[in-house]
Amino acid sequence: MTADLSRLLAALPPDMLPPGRPVSPEGGGPPGYWLSDESVTDLGLWARLRARHRESGLWPLLLTGLASDETRPWVAGEVWPAGMSAPDRHDPAQVLAAWWRDSTTTGEDDDPDAPGQATAPFGRTWPGLAAPGEPDEPADDCADGYAEFLVAGSTRLGLVPAARSADTLAVTGWSGPANHVGDAGQLSAVLRSWEERFGVRVVGVGFDTLQLSVAAPPTSIEHARRVAAEHFAFCPDNVWQGAGSLQAYAEQVVGAPSWWFWWD
């Protein structure tokens, strides 16, 4: 799943990166990503590295840690790449449908009526994948702009040997949504589909948060409801502990150039 990280890093111009180091998983195994020693302040560095991805094989990420312990997960290597499957083993439609069934079987706080209420108008019936969006701008340009927005005082730079942004979660062995799904390969499979349908790029990853740029978001409430259904399957907490209903959440994603996910 991964290329030799040291070889790929060595091919970059020597003055391109700030001080940093490859990070090995705490459970053992070769390093799955490179991490800057300090937070990044150069607003354009992410975009420059993203522009070299096709030749470098390294996808940049903006990485943040747990508020109570910023070493987790990225500095500490609290990741498990060996336990993640390859994204191409999974059909994203089937993965989302299974998550939808699991999340609508019982509601938040085990209220049997909560799923149907929260996911109206679909109730417990999986509506299937949403249609693709129409891009407002090239997906990589959208990602560059979002990365500049996300750079903050506690944001480190990561580089992941991945062929596409969606695969970075599986390659690093990220376990942020462990209470919802334990296999980042399934997450990456869905993200591949979102890359293709909505011009999504993975830009920021935290302890249990995920930040995506979106070049082709839904522009109508009808389309947004279908997208919201996928988001609910992917991350139910965005609805249960956020908007409160699929309809309210859909209103938030109409025309939104970025998507943010958080797992409890």
Cβ neighbours, 10 Å, residue 131: 12
Q: What is the dihedral of CA 86, 190, 141, 172, to 10 degrees?
A: -40
Q: Quote the mean pLDDT of the chain.
A: 93
Q: Residue 116: its pLDDT value, please? A: 59
Residue 122 has pLDDT above 80, yes or no: yes
Residue 114 has pLDDT above 60, yes or no: no
Higher pLDDT, 24 or 4: 24
Q: Residue 118: its pLDDT value, please? A: 78
**Percent of the chain with pLDDT strictly greater than 70:** 94
Of 14-18, 95-99, 193-197, 255-259, least confident by mean pLDDT is: 14-18
Q: What is d(CA 26, CA 49) in angstroms, rounded to the nearest whole number? A: 27
The beta strand positions in 127-217, using DSSP E, are 156-161, 200-205, 209-214
Nearest of 88, 121, 119, 90 to residue 104 by alpha carbon = 119
Q: What is d(CA 161, CA 182) in angstroms, rounded to the nearest whole number? A: 21
Higher pLDDT, 136 or 99: 99
Residue 106 has pLDDT above 90, yes or no: no
Predicted confidence band of residue 154 (pLDDT cuts 50, 70, 90): confident
Q: Residue 27: its pLDDT value, please? A: 83
Structure token pair of residue 56? 């470098």
Residue 1 has pLDDT above 60, yes or no: no
